[in-house]
Structure 1
C-alpha cells in the first residue's frame, strides 16, 4: 500500500480475517504455489474490472511468502498493486463500485472505514470464503495524483507432499 496507510482493523492481518491463533491467517488446504498464484491473479483481474472506470494498473505481480509458525512447506500469496483512474475524479466512482461489487458474487464486504491518516482515506476490506481470498482497498483521493491501493491475499496453503514452495 502507501506510506500513509494505517494498521489494519483488529481481527485482520493483511486484510485476511483471523481464524488461526498461530498466524491470524486462515488455512486454505493443500495446493501448489502456481495454483494459488493463478487464483490471486484471477481475483486481481476481477477486482480491476469492478472499478468500472478506465485507468492503469501497476505491473508487479504476486509474491509468495512463508506463513509464520506453519513450517517451510506453507505459504501465502499476496498481490499489492495500484490502480490509477485516467480521470482523478473517477476515484470516488471506482470506490463506490468496489463497495457495491464486493458485496456479491461470493465477496462479502467485512469493513468500510475512514482511516486516521491526514487524508482520511476510505478503506474497504472484503473476503471471499469460497475462494479463500481477501482484499484490502484504499482510496487515495487527496494525493497529488489520486489512486487506489489494492492488496489481494490468499489464505495459508501447504504444498503437496514431496513438493517445495516456489518463491516468486
Structure 2
C-alpha cells in the first residue's frame, strides 16, 4: 500500500477500536463477497488465478491504493497490510484468498457523504459493478456500498460510519480464490 495510507493515532483506544471494527468487517465481508464475481452467477467464489501469497497480496493492496486515490479528499488511512484466508472447501495448502481491511478518516467530516456518492458514481466507470448500496439495519443506519470487479476478481465493501467517533469509511477488499504454483505452499500472514 502506498505510504500515503498511514495513520498514526494518538489515543490507543481509537487504534484499538479501529482494529476491532476492521477485523469484524473483514469477517463479515468474507462471508458474502465474491458471489457476483463468477461468470456463471452462482455463489461459488471465482478463481483468481495462480499466484504466490505475497504477489496476490501486492495485487490486492494495489486495488486498495486505487480506491484510496479514488476517494479524492484529504484525510488519513489506516496502516494495515493484506492477509491470507482459506478458500472454503478447498485444500488450504494449495488455495487461498487475500483480504485487506483498512479505514479512512477524512480531514473534514462533511466530506464523508460526498466521498460515498463519488465512489458510487466512479466505481462503475473503472470496471466495478455495484452489487448493493444503501443503509444497513444498524442503529446508525450506516451507508454500505458493495462492489465487484470481475476483471481483477476482487470485491469491496465500503461502510460510511458517519456517526462513529471518529467518523470514517471502513473498506474491506477480498479476492477470489488463488492457487499457488505447483510445488509451492500457501504462505500465511
Tell me the CA shift for residue 144 of structure 1.
2.5
| Structure-to-structure mapping, 1:4-23, within 5 angstroms | 13-17=31-35, 19=38
Q: Which runs of 5+ in 2 are unaligned?
A: 1-19
Q: Distance in 2 between matches of 1:141 and 1:24?
A: 33
1:2 is aligned to 2:21: yes
Q: Which runs of 5+ in 1 are unaligned?
A: none
Partner of 2:133: 112
Tell me the CA shift for residue 86 of structure 1.
1.0
- Runs of 4+, deviation exceeding 3 Å: none
Q: Distance in 2 between matches of 1:15 and 1:50?
A: 21
| Structure-to-structure mapping, 1:82-93, within 5 angstroms | 82-93=103-114
Please state whether the residue corresponding to 1:164 is helix, strand or coil: coil
Give TM-score scaled by structure 1 length: 0.88
8 Å contact 1:14–1:153 — kept in the other structure? no
Partner of 1:94: 115
Please state whether the residue corresponding to 2:120 is helix, strand or coil: helix
Partner of 2:6: none
RMSD of aligned residue pairs (Cα, Å): 2.5
Give 1:143's match in structure 2, choosing from 140, 164, 172. Answer: 164
Q: Distance in 1 between matches of 2:170 and 2:32?
A: 13
Partner of 1:49: 69
Tell me the CA shift for residue 2 of structure 1.
2.7
Q: Distance in 2 between matches of 1:26 and 1:89?
A: 37
Q: How many residues align?
A: 164
Q: Distance in 2 between matches of 1:54 and 1:15?
A: 28
Say which structure is richer in helix: 2
Q: Distance in 2 between matches of 1:92 and 1:102?
A: 15
Partner of 1:68: 88
